[in-house]
Structure 1
Amino acid sequence: MNRRKAIGSILLLAGAGTAVISGFRFHQLYKTPDLRKLSEYRALIAALAETIIPETDTPGAKAAGVDAFIINMVMDCTSKKEQNKFIEGLDEVTAYTYRKYHRSFVDSSANEQQAVAAYFEKRDRPYKGIAGKVSHKLMGDSFFIILKKYTVMGYCTSQIGATRGLAYDYVPGKYIGCVTLQPGQKCWATD
């Protein structure tokens, strides 16, 4: 009889602990985000975007002004839970970089920045199958998914990205369904 009560008490305690942790996580996701932090993290956002689309023979994300685009998209076009995840992700990048390299992400070398970005990309990889769909529906996109999505979107829609990063065709000609691509050919951007 005492064993049954002990098992019941343990299960009740475990359930209560799980409910408290879930409630805290729910509160963290749906609280009002501190959007002022985004302007404080502008240099970090620019450095992260430059890690995703670096400057090569074409301009990178910094030159295209993607950091301002990302901040505007997070502030105006992103759900509250994804805003919280993005700001939390920026805090985590800062803490992880200081813990690992003893300096900020912006002051780190290119190899260190790529290592940090690779760590967060691997960590934030979505689940596969039904679990991924349920997680996406309940929790929204993860920090690095949001960052990559807005970086690519901002770069491809910027003037520099569309004209110098992509092969810009202001007035496209006729439709040709199958075109042979040349080695090193750029993607197309049209108006």
Structure 2
Amino acid sequence: MQRRTALKNVAASMGAMVALPAWASNWNQKSIKKIGFLTIAEDEMLAEVVETFIPVTDTPGAKELNVHRFVQKMVAECYEPEVKKTLNDGLASLDKYSQQTFKKPFAAGTPPQRIHILEGLELSDDPSVRAFFPLVKNLTIQGYMNSEYVMTNLTHYEMIPGRFHGCVPIKEA
């Protein structure tokens, strides 16, 4: 490599490292209008939905492990665009159905009320709303079971299983 090119690359890298913290310092939840493709309110409602599926017990719940972010990322990056519409329609129907049934938003409901609302959406006549329940439920389970907490503390997953101990004495046969 040419010395001049190497010096330019080093200077550009140093400039980027100096500028990045100043550029990103004003980022926070309130300054970002959307999280993924959902609004902040929809993201919070999705967090309550995943928490309804896997609530806090002696282990953290799905909301605490940010499974709602996993669901959103999977829908945004791994599914067809129609599935985004299914998620958006399902969240809108969820709040509407909650207001009709219990006269309060979904997030304000008790756990049995939330379960009742989700089961009601599963029985809906609208196919896009009916598809919301299994989509979110399956992604919630997948995200929870693959979270760092569950993999390290509950299933005791090892990235590289087995060990090589080269200094172990061997008995002759």
Q: Which range, TM-score by smaller chain?
A: 0.5 to 0.7
The one-letter code matched in structure 2 to 1:95 is: K
Deviation at 1:167, TM superposition (A): 2.0
- Contact 2:151 2:157 survives alignment (8 Å): no
Q: Does 1:154 align with 2:155?
A: no
User: Match for residue 12 of structure 2?
Assistant: none
User: Match for residue 41 of structure 1?
Assistant: 42
Tell me the secondary structure at the aligned position of residue 107 of structure 2.
Answer: coil
Out of 123, 146, 156, the position equivalent to 1:168 is: 156
Structure 1 residues 137-179: Cα deviation after superposition (integer angstroms, max 9, x where no partner):
xx8x911111012111111111122233x321315459xxxxx
User: Match for residue 79 of structure 2?
Assistant: 78
User: Match for residue 133 of structure 2?
Assistant: 144
Structure 1 residues 50-109: Cα deviation after superposition (integer angstroms, max 9, x where no partner):
111111122110111111111211222221111111111111001000111111111111
Higher relative CO (Cα under 8 Å, sequence separation at least 6) belongs to: 1
In the superposition, the TM-score normalised over structure 1's length comes to 0.58
For the aligned residues, what is the CA RMSD?
2.5
Mapping for residues 26-65 of structure 1, pairs under 5 Å: 36-65=37-66
Please give the alpha-carbon distance, in whole angstroms, between the structure 1 residues aligned to 2:114 and 2:59: 20
User: Match for residue 112 of structure 1?
Assistant: 113
Structure 1 119/173 Cα, relative in aligned 2: closer, same or farther at 3 Å?
farther
In the superposition, the TM-score normalised over structure 2's length comes to 0.63
Identity %: 27
- Contact 1:38 1:71 survives alignment (8 Å): no
Mapping for residues 4-19 of structure 1, pairs under 5 Å: none
The one-letter code matched in structure 2 to 1:162 is: M
Q: Does 1:97 align with 2:85?
A: no
The one-letter code matched in structure 1 to 2:57 is: T
> Would you say how many aligned residue pairs link Structure 1 and Structure 2?
125
Deviation at 1:39, TM superposition (A): 3.6
Please give the alpha-carbon distance, in whole angstroms, between the structure 2 residues aligned to 1:154 and 1:38: 20
Please give the alpha-carbon distance, in whole angstroms, between the structure 1 residues aligned to 2:81 and 2:111: 32
- Stretches (4+) displaced over 6 A: none
Alignment gaps of 5+ in structure 2: 1-35, 164-173
Alignment gaps of 5+ in structure 1: 1-34, 125-134, 175-191
The one-letter code matched in structure 1 to 2:149 is: I
Please give the alpha-carbon distance, in whole angstroms, between the structure 2 residues aligned to 1:173 and 1:36: 41
